[in-house]
Amino acid sequence: MPRNSVIQVQNLIKQYGEFTAVGNISLQVHAGETLALLGHNGAGKSSLIKMLLGIVKPTSGQITMMGKTVTHEKDRRQINLGYLPENISLYEKLTGKEVLNYFAALKRIDKSKVLQVLEEFGLEHAQDNPVKSYSKGMKQRLGFAQAILSSPDILLLDEPTVGLDPQASLFMYQKIDELKRQGCAIVVCTHELAVVEDNIDRAFIMANGMELASGCVETLRQLTDLKVLFKGEEINQAIAEDEFLNTLAVNNQLLIHQVDKPRVMQYLTQHCGVYNFSIEEPGLSDIYHHCMNNRQQNVA
């Protein structure tokens, strides 16, 4: 898969009077890559997405898509871009097929693609029913279907699985993975860290409009501690005899820095055997909370 940069954001700033919604953000997304934008409410994620869409104009900075600098609405018309908002407003009185036919006409897409997408998203049985009769999951699938009607080069998703059951969420991320393998560059805004962790290539963590950390999950794991769980009197005694480990032991577990992992593993294996302890790698949620806690400590 080519690694050309499909989205490039350079020194992007958005200010509302004295309030900075987005402060000097730079990032890029490659073809065939999924980037997760993570942050609390008010972190600047939505403002960033709105600037990518052209809904909001940056105070300063530059956005490049598909190698073209996009400044005005007409620039974005040349970009094949799909978007699923968090709270999508569909035409409730129209049928599912009529909704997709409407978007197909806007995007100048053959109506045969509508029938294909309805079947692909499991909505063919309800295509002639009014949207107001659809469940939450069906409406979300219909919204996702309109976003990918044009087989976009860029796909922006704002909380695509919020309120969905696990099976519906799995379906969504399977579709995202299919699009990624076709070369689509995907940006996902989400609060559902456990769901998104196995479905992204990189994460971009924000707070108060600023970047806290970014990179692949494996790289971001280096920022936070490993958890070593242990059991049995033998391992407790071995840890008590090591001055360094003894200071790290709390409630039958050790919290160690990534750089100390080789030393700790060697010591525990030699003195206790590999069956008396287990390593719990930090997940995306641990990484996120670590970044937030560090930020709060730095502010304090």
Q: Tell me: the pLDDT tens digits for 268-300?
A: 788 776 657 778 888 899 899 888 888 766 655
| 114 and 60 in a common domain | no
pTM of the model: 0.87
> CA–CA separation, 280 vs 6, rounded Å?
35
**Predicted pLDDT of residue 297:** 64
| 123 and 265 in a common domain | no
| 184 and 98 in a common domain | no
The residue range of the domain holding 162 is: 1-80+152-168+178-223
| 133 and 9 in a common domain | no
| 161 and 36 in a common domain | yes
Q: How many domains does the chain have?
A: 3
| 2 and 75 in a common domain | yes
Please report whether residue 292 resides in a domain. Answer: no
Q: Comparing 180 with 256, which gets the higher pLDDT?
A: 180
| 31 and 66 in a common domain | yes
Alpha helices in the chain (DSSP H): 45-53, 73-76, 96-106, 112-120, 136-147, 166-181, 193-196, 217-220, 233-240, 243-246, 261-272, 284-299
Could you tell me the two tokens for 219? 């790289």
| 136 and 75 in a common domain | no
| 194 and 55 in a common domain | yes
| 96 and 204 in a common domain | no
Give the pLDDT confidence of 49-108 residue by residue, as tens digits: 999 998 899 999 999 999 999 887 777 778 999 999 988 888 899 999 999 999 999 989
CATH number at residue 35: 3.40.50.300
